[in-house]
Each structure stands twice: as structure tokens, then as C-alpha cells.
Amino acid sequence: MNQTTTKTVYSFEEYLSYDDVTDNRYELIDGKLELINPPTFRHLLISKFIEQNFDEQIKNQKLPWMCFREAGIRTGWRKSRFSDVYIVTSEQVMEFLDESAVCQSPTLLVVEVVSPESVKRDYRYKRSEYAALEIPEYWIIDPIESKVTVLLWDEGLYEETEFAGIQKIISRTFPQLYLTVEQVLAAGNIK
């Protein structure tokens, strides 16, 4: 369970330079630091698989984009979230190359992998924050429910499609991508 660790209200700029001399990771929620639990190995394996597939699509299509895992996204005036995977333009990174890895403008695509303690955060809170940014595509990979939900921004709201089993995941960002839910979830297993 995530816990708020301080009663102090931080600005976004203070958050970027915050250091409590630990390896703890925090999200900034309404100016408060919220401690984030380390991900599970299943979570990391799935995220890595998605990152590798997205990197391959970017390379094959020669797109001026970059894929990052476990980097931040500024989602509001005093809000910043860690995503599991996201796609940004190279320009978005160049502007902040030597600063904390927190994207300060909307990403092209974001992926969250659900863990038992992140269900509400991934399906509810992050969904509304990403919608406020009008992020064009948001994936929720849910190993608990054995499904992938793809949310596409369309005329002011997210249109949601759920995929399961051997269904191919349809991505507007990567139309040539061929991944099934089964393949994505299998990446979280050790062979």
C-alpha cells in the first residue's frame, strides 16, 4: 500500500530536486510525497517486454520517438506519476536531457501494469490524470484479470477496448504491432 510520507506541500520544482538520502521513490500527489512500493518481478518482466517491442516498432518505422520504463510524467500543477512504460518524442527529452526523468508534457502513449496494490491507482486515478493531459493512448495491462485494456483519446474522452487471451492488441500508435494478450502476460513468467 502506498503511503503519504510528509505533511509538507511541495511544488513540482521542489519535487524534482527532492532527496531524502534513500532509494525510495515518490510520486507527487497534490503536493504531497507518496511512497511507491517496488514493483514485482512479474511487473518488471512485462514492462521490459513491452518496452522491447515498442523499441523495435520505433526502430523499424524510423520514428523520432523514444521509449522509457519507470520514468515520470507530470500530470498536474503539483502532481507527478511514475509510469511503467511510455513513448515520447525525442524533442520532449532533448529539452530536459540533464534534468530528472519526468516528462513535463503529454506522452504519446503510456502503459501501466497492474499490481495488487495499484488496481485503483491504474484504473481510476491515473486514467483521469492521463485523460486531463489528453494522452492519445493508454494501456492497462492486468495480469490479475488476464486482460489488456486500451484507452484511445477521442473527442474529449477515452474510448475503452478490452482484449484477452489470443486476441491481438490493437494500437493506434503502433498499427503494425502484433502482440496478443497471451504473449504479453506470458512475458511475466520465467521460462
Average pLDDT over residues 118-139: 95
Of the options 3.90.1570.10, 3.80.30.20, 3.90.660.10, 3.65.10.10, the CATH number for the domain spanning 39-186: 3.90.1570.10
Of 75, 90, 83, 85, whose CA–CA distance to 31 is shortest?
A: 75
Q: Give the torsion through C-alpha atoms of 92, 151, 111, 57, to 10 deg.
A: -70
Structure confidence at residue 98 (pLDDT): 86
pLDDT of residue 99: 86
- Share above pLDDT 70 across residues of the chain, in percent, rounded to a whole number: 96
Res 96 pLDDT > 90: no
d(CA 173, CA 124): 22
For range 45-72, the mean pLDDT: 97
Please report, for the chain, the start and end positions of each structural domain, with discontinuous segments joined by +.
Answer: 39-186
Q: Which residues are 161's β-sheet partners?
A: 150
Whole-prediction pTM value? 0.92
Residue 117 has pLDDT above 90, yes or no: no
